[in-house]
Every structure is written in C-alpha cells, then in structure tokens.
Amino acid sequence: MKSQLEPLERLLLWKMIFLGYEPALSKTKPKLVSDARRRLLDMGLIEIEKRGRSSHLVLTDNAWLWASENLEAEISTRSYESGPILQTVLARLKVFLAMKELPLAEFLEAKIMDTPESSKAAISSDILAQPLEERIRDAYQKISRGRWNTPVRIADIRKALADVPRVQQDKELHRLKREDRILLFPMEDPQDRTPEDEAAALAMSDRTNHLILFER
C-alpha cells in the first residue's frame, strides 16, 4: 500500500501509531480538514469509534501495514507535533537496541537493501494474519517450555515480538489484563531486575510490572 497522503495526514498517523493517540473527532491534533480525514477513512487507515457521547479516531490493521511500507514517507515539519513523536521513537529505539544488544553505531551503519514488494506484502500479511494475543501466547509457551502458571519476563515476550510496535504490544497486554486473561507482577527485589526488565516493564495505574503469567 503506497503512501497517497499529504505530509500532515502522515504526521497524524505516526502520532496515533507511536503515541497510542486516539483523539476525539473534535479535538484532533494536528487538525485535518474534512477532505483529509475522509481520505484516511476511505483508504481504510482509520475508523471512527463511538465512545459515549463522543466519536474517536482509531487505527485499523491496514494502518500498521501502511506504516511498515512507508517509514521513509515525508511528514510535515511545520507542526510542533513532530517533536514528541520523534522523542518517543528514539526512546523506543533505545529499548530495541538494548534488547538486541546492538550498538547505535551498528544500527546507523546498516545498509538499506531493496526488498521486493511481493516479499514485503507477504511478510506484512503473515504478521497481520495471526492475532497478537495468539502470538503473545505462543511466545509465552516457548519461553516457559510449554508450562502454564509460570511467570515469564515481559522483556522476553517483547524480544519475541520485536516486529510489533511497543504501543501495540502495550495496548494488547492492557486488554488481556482488563479481561483477566493474564496475570501481571512486579519483580519486588530490585536486585532481580536488569536494565532490560526496567525498559520492558508494563506500567499500570497502581504498579509497574515485569512478569506475565497465563493460567491456561
């Protein structure tokens, strides 16, 4: 799916993707004219979700496919919204490099290789075809060696889902917790926690969690 969007429209998508932004229709920033919003809707990148008395913009699965194919697309540099997005991307990059034990210099020196469009589509389709909950369960089972009721480090789960944006991982983990499908725990002893555990931790309203457990 090639980018057919204006720079400001792309900026809004990046804000929604990297910051987990789901704005009320009347309070969207950067503000889009109705034609621009309609273009995003027609392309199937966003949809309008009713929440009580207000309507909110939310991403679709197609938006994640668009993102994977358009990371280099030009965005608006005139909006102050680009600053917080860049800051978040750099923070996520730091976590990713730490998990992969890659130095920044090696990342910056990586050669950009051309990948056939058909291969890109196949990879993206495979990722979208498997529900994220199922991928989390599969990762949990591999890490725990097939055992349920066994605490597993969230850092290890994130390593297995390195291709999934952090904000999407967090959103799914929060949903699973709300629906009582998983249990989350902190590592109480600071000496047990590594920098990797701290970077991968999932913050809830009452505590910061480092471990995940599926009862079944």
pTM for this model (two decimals): 0.52
Mean pLDDT of 196-210: 86
Instruction: Give the pLDDT confidence score for residue 209 in this predicted structure.
Output: 93
Phi-psi region of 212 (alpha: psi -120 to 50; beta: other; left: phi over 0): beta
Could you read off the pLDDT of 116-150 as tens digits, one per residue? 444 444 444 444 456 899 999 999 999 999 999 99
- The pLDDT of residue 216 is 82
7-93: CATH topology is: Arc Repressor Mutant, subunit A (1.10.10)
Among 42-51, 80-89, 113-122, top mean pLDDT goes to 42-51
**Residue 111 phi, psi dihedral angles, 5° rounding:** -80, 140
For position 123, what pLDDT does the model report? 42
Return the CA Rg of the chain: 19
Instruction: Please give the pLDDT value at position 119.
Output: 44
From the list 134, 135, 116, 122, the residue with the least C-alpha distance to 65 is 122
Q: Evaluate if residue 197 carries a pLDDT over 80.
A: yes
For residue 148, the model assigns a pLDDT of 92
Q: Quick check: 115 pLDDT over 60?
A: no
Asked whether the predicted pLDDT for residue 173 surpasses 90, the reply is yes
Write down the pLDDT at residue 82.
87
* Cα distances (angstroms) measured from residue 164 to each of 36, 53, 92, 130, 156: 27, 32, 12, 12, 14
Mean pLDDT of all residues in the chain?
Answer: 84
| Minimum mean pLDDT range among 74-83, 106-115, 120-129, 156-165 | 120-129
Q: Verify cis geometry, omega within 30 degrees of 0, for the bond prior to 7.
A: no
Lowest mean pLDDT among 56-70, 75-89, 106-120, 173-187: 106-120
Q: Do 146 and 75 contact (CB within 8 A), yes or no? A: no
Task: Report yes or no: 82 and 76 within 8 Å, Cβ to Cβ.
Answer: yes
d(CA 201, CA 159): 13
Cβ atoms 95, 200 nearer than 8 A: yes
